Structure formats: structure tokens, C-alpha cells
Amino acid sequence: MASRVGPGSSETEALLTPAEVAAMFRVDPKTVTRWAKAGKLSSIRTLGGHRRYRESEVRALLTGQVPAPRAAGDDEASSEE
């Protein structure tokens, strides 16, 4: 179930667990964790060290509105040619 940021926070944004995000993309929760480690999806850590993902960012990625950032070594063509 989605939770909220900060108890008294004026801006509350829904947060999703890795399992919830995985269900949306139909992948394993470990895949979602790998995406976060690779920088494809940003995560927030709870006080207990668990990852949570912003629902708005996940939905944007799901609809293709957010281009996935590439790692430094993933350039298709080198500019030094």
C-alpha cells in the first residue's frame, strides 16, 4: 500500500514498495532494486533501510514520459572518432 512522506508534511507524495513497483512493471522486486542501483529510478530510504519509490516517478516511467538515464559507459557512438 502507498504511504506518505513525513507525518505533518504539507506535501504528501505517495511512496511505493519494491513489490508494488514490480507488480506494475511485471518484473521481480529485485529487478526494481537493480534499476535503483543503476540510476534508472530514484529511491528513498526509510529509517529501517528499505527502499521506497515515488509513485509519480514510477507512473511517468511506466508511461514512457521519463527517459531512462544512461550510464557513462553506455554511449552508442564515441565523439572522439
Q: What is the pLDDT of residues 9-58, one digit of tens each?
A: 446 889 999 999 999 999 999 999 999 999 999 999 999 999 999 999 99
- The C-alpha atoms of residue 34 and residue 6 are separated, in whole angstroms, by 26
Considering the four listed CATH numbers 1.10.1660.10, 3.40.1480.10, 3.30.470.10, 2.40.30.10, the one that applies to the domain covering 15-67 is 1.10.1660.10
Positive or negative torsion for Cα 43, 58, 70, 29: positive
CA 23 vs CA 8, 48, 61, 75: distances in Å: 29, 23, 14, 30
The band of 1, judged by pLDDT with boundaries at 50, 70 and 90, is low
**pLDDT at residue 67 in the model:** 56
Q: How many CA atoms lie within 13 A of 4 on its CB side?
A: 7
